[in-house]
Amino acid sequence: MNLIFLGPPGAGKGTQARLLQARRGIPQVSTGDILREAIARETELGRKAREYVERGDLVPDEVMVGIIVERLAKPDTQEGFILDGFPRTVAQAQALEELLASLGRRITAVIYFDLPEEKIVQRLSGRLICARCGAIYHVDHHPPRKPETCDLCGGPLYRRSDDLPEVVRKRLQVYREETEPLVAFYRKRELLHVLDASQGVEALYQSILRIAGASSGNEEGEAEARADR
Ligand code: AP5
pLDDT at 218: 60
pLDDT at 220: 46
Asked if residue 136 lies in contact with residue 22, where contact means CB atoms within 8 angstroms, the answer is no
pLDDT at 9: 98
pLDDT digits (tens, 9 = 90+) for 108-162: 999 999 999 999 999 999 999 999 999 999 999 999 999 999 999 999 999 999 9
Whether 217 shows a pLDDT value over 90: the answer reads: no
Asked if residue 213 lies in contact with residue 222, where contact means CB atoms within 8 angstroms, the answer is yes
Residue among 50, 58, 86 whose CB has most ligand 1 atoms within 8 A, to mutate: 58
Whether 175 shows a pLDDT value over 90: the answer reads: yes
The rounded distance, in Å, linking the Cα atoms of 176 and 88 is 10
Q: Which amino acid appears at position 86 of this protein?
A: F
By C-alpha distance, which of 201, 207, 226, 202 is closest to 12? 201
Residue with CA closest to ligand 1 atom 6: 9
The rounded distance, in Å, linking the Cα atoms of 81 and 83 is 6
Asked if residue 15 lies in contact with residue 195, where contact means CB atoms within 8 angstroms, the answer is no
Q: Does 91 contact ligand 1 (Cβ within 6 A)?
A: no
- Sheet bearing 127-130, strands edge to edge: 136-138, 127-130, 157-158
- Beta strands in 37-176, from DSSP E residues, in sequence order: 81-84, 109-114, 127-130, 136-138, 157-158
Look at residue 175 and give its three-state secondary structure: helix
Residue 147, class by beta-carbon neighbours within 10 Å (0-12 exposed, 13-18 middle, 19+ buried)? Answer: exposed
Q: What is the mean pLDDT of the chain?
A: 93
The rounded distance, in Å, linking the Cα atoms of 129 and 73 is 28
Band of the pLDDT at 215, cuts 50, 70, 90?
A: confident
Residue with CA closest to ligand 1 atom 15: 14
The rounded distance, in Å, linking the Cα atoms of 137 and 143 is 6
pTM to 2 decimal places: 0.94
The rounded distance, in Å, linking the Cα atoms of 106 and 154 is 38
The rounded distance, in Å, linking the Cα atoms of 138 and 135 is 10
Residue with CA closest to ligand 1 atom 48: 12
- Cα 6 to ligand 1 centre (Å): 10
**CA torsion angle for 53, 41, 31, 157 (degrees, to 10)?**
-80
- Cα 117 to ligand 1 centre (Å): 14
Positions marked active-site = 13, 88, 127, 160, 171
The rounded distance, in Å, linking the Cα atoms of 148 and 28 is 25
**CA torsion angle for 92, 1, 4, 181 (degrees, to 10)?**
70
- Cα 14 to ligand 1 centre (Å): 6
Q: Does 71 contact ligand 1 (Cβ within 6 A)?
A: no
Across the range 66-93, mean pLDDT stands at 97
Residue with CA closest to ligand 1 atom 50: 12
pLDDT digits (tens, 9 = 90+) for 4-21: 999 999 999 999 999 999
